Amino acid sequence: MCKSRRRDDSYSSTEWSEAFTLSGSILNKPTVTLQPSWTQIYSGETVTVRCEIQGGEGAQWTYEWRAAKLNTPPTSNEYRIIRATESDSGGYSCRGRRDYFFSEWSDIITLTVSYKPKAKLRADNTAVPVGGSVTLTCSVNPSSSSGWKYYWYRDEKSSEALTTQDAVFHSNGQISVSQEGLYRCRGGRGNPVYYTEDSQSVRIGKTVTASNRPVVTLYPNWSEIYRGETITVRCEIHGGDTEWDYEWETNSRIKAPNQNEYRIRSASSSNSGNYRCKGRMKSSQHKTTEWSDSVTLTVSDNKPRPVLTVSPSWLSPGASVTLNCEVEHPSAGWSFYWYKAVPDLSEKSSSYELLPDGSGTAQDSYIIHGQTHTAGYVCRAGRGDPEYHTDHSQPKFVWSAGQFDSL
């Protein structure tokens, strides 16, 4: 605070007016800022700590600093740290002084200086697919540190960074490359540019296409299946004793695992789509097969109901009757089950009794010999392991001049 003086001391009226004006600015609290505005910096970087007093731009301030590092604190509003070290870490605050008048101390801003970081390089694949590219990602930890640009290099001896002629540059430290080689990266920021340590190198090779071409098969071999059925999609690579890793590509909503077989239990329409696969040699990850042809799998969410026909529907006593059972939207693999409808008059419904030798016939027809009474019949179909069953058909009746057959 100012020393006590009488009014008639050497200050003129103008100086006293300035002093009282200045005393009003005591309330203006300074702010400490960093340029660049990174509270996390690294050993060797340059940073400027600045004291700013809003509303005091016209005053001739002298500045005071508080920091454990500052053995001889500067009196200007900027403190430039060149080639920072860990000893520069800590809290910084400042205040302004003019003659005998002082501002408040600013809030403390904390600066953290860490060891020089090492960039991290990650590749989504180590082999460039035929006609494709590999994506490389460079990052600096911690991820909260900001302001980085990334520089890319190919081969150990090269000191020239890659350009747009060598790679496709994306945001977020990513590039796509199609040339084989040994890649590395580093981060840089600031002016002058401060560089991280180089990342570990990653070797990217060319994919070599094997002569074996896989084939996708369905087991059982039904291109259309129904909700709840079980089916296996299989990738087969013939020739030699090579061990393979498998890769699937499908536009279905449920993705296939990277194995040679994908067993779908209780299928749904989400499994519908085109499936193709390729193999990658376990002994040489750069050697792959071509993609197989696609196989289309269609899963219907509607449970099928077969249609039963009888011939003749009117008969003479003792004649034979032929039942035919047809599955809607016919597809392979069905066995057929044949039943007589037994009426339950109290319940106004029917129960079903399996006809003799009427369980799981391969034929879609069934002959009843010596029919003498009016009777109703139904059928249903089943297939697969475990067996999947359709709904029962609607009952069909064979009419006879005799009584209704309740047996």
Tokens matching residue 85? 């070290």
Amino acid letter for position 380: R
What is the architecture, at CATH level 2, of domain 120-206?
Answer: Sandwich (2.60)
Q: Averaged over 32-60, what is the pLDDT? A: 84
Distance of CA 148 to the CA centre of its chain: 25
> Which pLDDT band, with edges at 50, 70 and 90, does 284 fall under?
confident
- Is there a shared CATH topology between the 120-206 domain and the 215-300 domain? yes
Does the pLDDT of residue 21 top 80, yes or no?
A: no
Q: How far is residue 338's CA from residue 318's CA, in Å, rounded to a whole number?
A: 20
Q: How far is residue 162's CA from residue 170's CA, in Å, rounded to a whole number?
A: 13
Residue 13: its H or E element? helix 13-24
> Which pLDDT band, with edges at 50, 70 and 90, does 58 fall under?
low
Beta strands 287-288 and 365-371 are unpaired
Which of the two residues, 404 and 382, has the higher pLDDT score? 382
Does the pLDDT of residue 176 top 70, yes or no?
A: yes
Averaged pLDDT of the chain: 82
What is the architecture, at CATH level 2, of domain 215-300?
Answer: Sandwich (2.60)
Distances from the Cα of 363 to the Cα of 21, 205, 323, 333, 394, angstroms: 109, 57, 11, 11, 19
Residue range 330-363, pLDDT digits in tens: 667 889 999 998 877 666 667 889 999 989 888 8
Q: How far is residue 391's CA from residue 307's CA, in Å, rounded to a whole number?
A: 10
pLDDT given for residue 68 in this prediction = 56
Does the pLDDT of residue 144 top 70, yes or no?
A: no
Which of the two residues, 261 and 191, has the higher pLDDT score? 261
Which value, to the nearest 10 degrees, does the dihedral of the CA atoms of residues 99, 101, 107, 113 take?
A: 10
Asked whether the beta carbons of 320 and 371 are under 8 A apart, the reply is yes
Does the pLDDT of residue 22 top 80, yes or no?
A: no
> Which pLDDT band, with edges at 50, 70 and 90, does 27 fall under?
low
Superfamily of domain 307-400: Immunoglobulins (2.60.40.10)
- Range list of β-strands (E), 207-362: 208-209, 215-219, 224-226, 231-236, 244-250, 261-264, 273-281, 287-288, 295-300, 307-311, 314-315, 319-326, 335-344, 349-354
Asked whether the beta carbons of 313 and 399 are under 8 A apart, the reply is yes
- Eight-class DSSP state of 106: P
pLDDT given for residue 37 in this prediction = 86
* Number of residues that this document lists for the chain: 407
Which of the two residues, 23 and 58, has the higher pLDDT score? 58
- Class of the 30-114 domain? mainly beta
CA nearest 79: which of 144, 88, 314, 140? 88
pLDDT given for residue 130 in this prediction = 73
Q: Averaged over 42-65, what is the pLDDT? A: 84
Q: What is the pTM of this model?
A: 0.49
Does the pLDDT of residue 248 top 80, yes or no?
A: yes
CA nearest 371: which of 352, 350, 399? 399
Q: Averaged over 284-288, what is the pLDDT? A: 75
Domain ranges of the chain: 30-114, 120-206, 215-300, 307-400
- Eight-class DSSP state of 20: H
> Which pLDDT band, with edges at 50, 70 and 90, does 19 fall under?
very low
Q: Averaged over 212-228, what is the pLDDT? A: 87
Does the pLDDT of residue 384 top 50, yes or no?
A: yes
Does the pLDDT of residue 103 top 90, yes or no?
A: no
Q: What percent of the chain has pLDDT over 70?
A: 84
pLDDT given for residue 335 in this prediction = 92
Tokens matching residue 384? 């697969």
Q: How far is residue 211's CA from residue 52's CA, in Å, rounded to a whole number?
A: 71
Q: Averaged over 245-255, what is the pLDDT? A: 88
Asked whether the beta carbons of 364 and 325 are under 8 A apart, the reply is yes
366 CB neighbour count, 10 Å cutoff: 21
Amino acid letter for position 97: R
Tokens matching residue 196? 């991280």
Q: What percent of the chain has pLDDT over 90?
A: 35
pLDDT given for residue 177 in this prediction = 92
pLDDT given for residue 217 in this prediction = 92
| Residue 217 backbone phi and psi in degrees, to 5 | -125, 155
Q: Averaged over 204-216, what is the pLDDT? A: 81
Q: Averaged over 118-142, what is the pLDDT? A: 88
Tokens matching residue 100? 């005998």
Tokens matching residue 99? 């003659």
Bridge partners, residue 187, by sequence:
150
